[in-house]
Chains A and B, each alone.
Chain A
Amino acid sequence: MGRILIVEDTRLMRDSLVDVLEAAGHEVVTADNGVQACEIVADGAAFDVIITDIIMPEMDGIQAILEIQTMQPEARIIAISGGSARMEKAQGLETARRLGAVAVLEKPFEVDALLAAVESALA
């Protein structure tokens, strides 16, 4: 089982992720946006997997990925996105993938898809 940081601004989404991952036996920490996530990472907390939304206030996922990678180059990142008016969901995810995300998921996704991505990230 792994230690997972969830970066997600939408509360219901964040809670669902926590629900699913904790049910699967993972240890989960949450952040409401990129800024919080960076702070958590900067504090030295280590995570096996970081699941981040792309479109968030304060600092979006792409920037968060870039920031986190500077602090933890080995971080295994899963990007999730529901898209936005600014960016099509696939674009954000593609950018994340290019930036090194090990998996990307389009919202909404099934429980099994999430678990499978996390499993492969942990492997």
Chain B
Amino acid sequence: MTVSTRGALNAVHWADRDAHVAAIHRSALSMSRCLEAFRAVTAEGETRWFRGSSSPVRAEDGTIVWEGAWIDISPWMRAEHQFQTVMDHAEDCILTLDARNGIDWANAATERLFGWSLDELLGRCLADLLSEPCRPDAPGQLSECLAGEIIQCFPRGTQEVMAKRKDGVAFPFEMTVSEVRSDGRLSLIVIGRDITRRKATELMLEESERRLRSIAANLPGVVFQRVLDPDGTFAYPYVSEGIEEILGCEPSDIVFDSAILFDTMVDEDRERLLASLLVSAETLEPVREDVRVQGRDGRIRWLRGQSRPRRRDDIIVWDGLLLDVTEEVEERMKAEAAIRESEERLRLAFAAASLGIVVSRLDGTIQQVNPAFQTMCGLTGEDLAGQSIQRFVDGHLPARGDLPASGESFCFIHEPSLPDGRERHWRVTGTQFSASRDDPDPSLLFMIEDVTEVTRAAEERRQLELALQEGHKLEALGRLAGGVAHELNNMLGPILMAAEMVSRTAALDDRNQDRVGRIIEAAKHGRDIVRNVLAYCRKEQKTLGAVDLVPVFVQFAGLASSILPPTVKVETRVGADTAMVTGDGGQITQVLLNLVNNARDAMDGHGFLLLALELVPAGTLAPPRRSSGRANPFKDLDPSLAHVRITIADSGHGMAPETVAKIFDPFFTTKPVGQGTGLGLSVVQGIIKAMGGAVAVDSAPGEGTAFHIVLPVLPPEPIRAITS
């Protein structure tokens, strides 16, 4: 600024220059004090504000001289300016109220928000801007109001009210009322803002929180937040209501004192959980632990806690969920117990099975064998460890690629080569199995059954069947041969005898004697041939006809004593006058003779023999007390028919059940070779069966034997009408 005795006008800001000069002129004209206010520009180009006043004095030469002072008011003006700028740019409404609550100043934001211009605002009561009349709420404030000259006062401090704009639209408005005293005058400053957006956000938050709480309350468990303070203590700032159902305490109890929660835990579970939490706090990895808690009802429950940690400043916060998994855990424990039990049973079965059980790898390497298999192969578990099953199955094992799929089995019978060289037959059933679905290394399970006896029995049976077939062929041949033999023998007899008679005459010369000798020799040779052929001869079935069993039986009974030693007492009972059956008297006699012979042999020359014939009325047929074998011997008979029963009971040594079971088998005999009639009991049975009857045996060791021959009785001949 250039100031000289010639004046400082140059320094005055050009914008203020005219006004400044005008003021000086006015002062000069009126010779009154000149109030000076102007901006000047410094030599550095800085604008500064000056204010001052000067008094004009007219000199003798007419010159007017002002004497005054300027004060640099730049700092004040700048502050004012700054204040104005702040006010104008403030987002919040700022207004001041006079003693009568009239607005005596408002900033631009107020104009913008309320829609009133500053002029319209000035002098208006603040209450006009609010949609609900704002009253002094508290007596305390009222009394303070009365102390001043304010008629209506607003509560001091921050409050949320509803305001209304010039156009009548209401909106939430937060305002802070504070009082300012200056120059002994009380005024109120109101700073306020539109909180529509904040209210909406708050509402949303509130709704969101309500929703979360509702969700938490409805969750089957407990939502919680856990924090670990730097001092190492755990706290639960939030626990949802579900805790009440589980532990019987209020969420606030635990929020207040987390020890309540920890104290309910079973000691070892609490220690484990705390350890896991510390690890989680370190690694920030989620925690998952099952802990047992004892609620107020004394019941132990399983809680599964899952929480995810995060770091907030120097504390660790876990948000998590606590679920009551008691049922699940108990189910699981029950299932585990069942599995253990099942495993135990399987282990027992494995150990106790009579089947040999071997588990091997696919290549056949033995992994496990049961005791039965050790016994079967005569080797101990140690001997077998690491050996290959191939040793026992000799190439029967399918190649790896040919193994049936898991669940299907392969089976073969073979003779293993065993260390002791015994000849055994094993039936091996193998199957592939995997411990789990994606087991890369499945195993083979072998069940090994020693079927030596079975195959041996089957072989014997096969042989027997072959023999029977052969027997049938021979029987047919025998029948033929028997017929031929009879005739031949009857021819050979005369040849032999006649030739012998001739040879005994002295008249023969040597040559003729030789000739007769050849006849005799040839006849004898022929006899031998016939005898050999006859060895195959078997009895032939006669054509059956109706025969009365009673006379046949009576006649047989009469001669029975003659074939028994006198020391055997015979009792005969005939309980019928007639008993017509389909059969052959001669065959029946043969059968009875055979049975009596057996009885005689069983009695060793002493005892009692009962021969009885009785009728069995229709519907009363019952097998004997100790029937032979398992099956009812009368199963092929029709119980609704009348039967006749011949019983031959001796007081002999009786038979064991196993003997009884076999007596009707062909080729079965208890007698030395060459003894007996040759009519086996199988033939007896065959004859009686052919007659439509059945044979039953009732015997026990030491209690004698009774044979029952039961034949259906033929119905009486219908009476024919005789016409002449």
Contact = CB atoms under 8 A, between A and B. Distances in A.
A16 B494 contact: yes
A1 interface: no
B420 to A, nearest CB: 48
B538 A88 contact: yes
A87 B127 CA distance: 147
Contacts of A95: 590, 593, 677
Interface string A75-87: 0000000111111
A117 B678 CA distance: 24
A90 B489 CA distance: 13
Given A83-B482, A98-B563, A111-B501, A15 B494 contact: yes
Chain B binding surface SS class? helix
Interface in B473-498: 478-483, 485-498
Contact of B490 (A19, A98, A100, A107): A107
Contact of A16 (B485, B498, B589): B498
Given A15-B494, A85-B481, A108-B496, 7 more contacts: A16-B494, A82-B486, A84-B482, A85-B478, A87-B539, A88-B482, A108-B489
Q: Across the A-B interface, give the 3 residue pairs with the lowest CB-CB distance, nearest first.
A: A82-B489, A85-B482, A16-B494
Contacts of B546: none
A85 B531 CA distance: 13
A55 interface: yes
Nearest to B559: A66
Given A62-B586, A88-B539, A99-B562, A108 B486 contact: no
A71 interface: no
Nearest to B499: A111
Contact of A111 (B490, B500, B534, B678): B500
A15 B501 CA distance: 12
12 contacts: A12-B493, A17-B497, A19-B498, A19-B501, A66-B559, A84-B540, A85-B540, A87-B482, A89-B537, A91-B679, A106-B531, A107-B493
A112 B483 CA distance: 27
A69 interface: yes
Chain A binding surface SS class? helix
B559 A94 contact: no
B559 A69 contact: yes
Contacts of B496: 108-111
Interface residues of A, number: 39
Interface string B247-266: 00000000000000000000
Contacts of B540: 84-86
A72 to B, nearest CB: 14
Contacts of A12: 490-491, 493-494
A63 B492 contact: no
Given A86-B542, A89-B534, A108-B527, A94 B677 contact: yes
Contacts of B534: 83, 88-89
A69 B486 CA distance: 26
Interface in A11-42: 12-13, 15-17, 19-20, 23
B351 to A, nearest CB: 59
B380 interface: no
Contacts of B492: 107-108
Interface string A91-107: 10011001110000011
B562 A100 contact: yes
A86 B542 CA distance: 8
A13 B490 contact: yes
Interface in B95-130: none
Given A84-B483, A98-B593, A98-B597, A109 B493 contact: yes
A69 B586 CA distance: 17
Contacts of A111: 496-497, 500-501, 504
A115 B504 CA distance: 14
Nearest to A8: B490
Interface string A44-56: 0000000000010
Contacts of B493: 10, 12-13, 16, 82, 107-109
B141 interface: no
A98 B597 CA distance: 9
A88 B483 contact: no
Query: Which of A62, A86, A106 has the largest count of B CB atoms less than 10 A from its CB?
Result: A86
A91 B482 contact: no
B677 A23 contact: no
Nearest to A84: B486
A63 B551 CA distance: 13
B159 interface: no
Nearest to A12: B494
B523 interface: yes
B79 to A, nearest CB: 156
Nearest to A9: B490
Contacts of B500: 20, 110-112
Contacts of A112: 500
Nearest to B493: A108
Interface string B445-486: 000000000000000000000000000000000111111011
B82 interface: no
A16 to B, nearest CB: 4
A66 to B, nearest CB: 6
Nearest to A91: B678
